[in-house]
Amino acid sequence: RLYFQIPQFIRLLLTIFASMIVFGYIIHLIEPNEFKTVFDGVWWAFITGSTIGYGDYVPHTTIGRLLGISLILLGGGVLTFYMVTFAKTTISRKDAYEKGDV
């Protein structure tokens, strides 16, 4: 089972990174004054998609905000899902280890 699950986990991670890079790149194009580098945009996409929302980078234009809403509706859940899945997997593996199943 491990053989198939690990690539799935890596695919999920790659999907997250690819999505955040795409959103970060687009916001950098839309609001280059607020998001001076592509990495500023990627950082914003991660902080927004994970629903942390520091507020250090915030879109101010209507188009930028619509991109932000798209990020919430398309990408936000993926990161939330990843976080819960990761936690559940870690804890159940730890339990399995302690029970002697692994």
Name which of 2, 8, 27, 23 is nearest 82 in CA terms.
8
CB 23, min distance to its own copies, A: 14
Which one of 1, 3, 62, 100 is in contact with its own copies (CB under 8 A)?
62
Question: Cβ atoms within 10 A of the Cβ of 21, count?
Answer: 16
Considering the complex, state which of residue 13 and residue 29 has its C-beta at the smaller distance from its own copies: 13
12 is an interface residue for its own copies by CB under 8 A:
yes
18 is an interface residue for its own copies by CB under 8 A:
no
Looking at this protein, which amino acid is placed at residue 20?
Answer: M
6 is an interface residue for its own copies by CB under 8 A:
no
Alpha-helical regions (H) of the chain:
2-30, 38-49, 62-70, 77-99
Which one of 6, 18, 53, 91 is in contact with K ion (CB under 5 A)?
53
Rounded CA separation 102/100 (Å): 6
86 is an interface residue for its own copies by CB under 8 A:
yes
10 is an interface residue for its own copies by CB under 8 A:
no
Rounded CA separation 99/79 (Å): 30
Could you list the residues that contact K ion (CB under 5 A)? 53
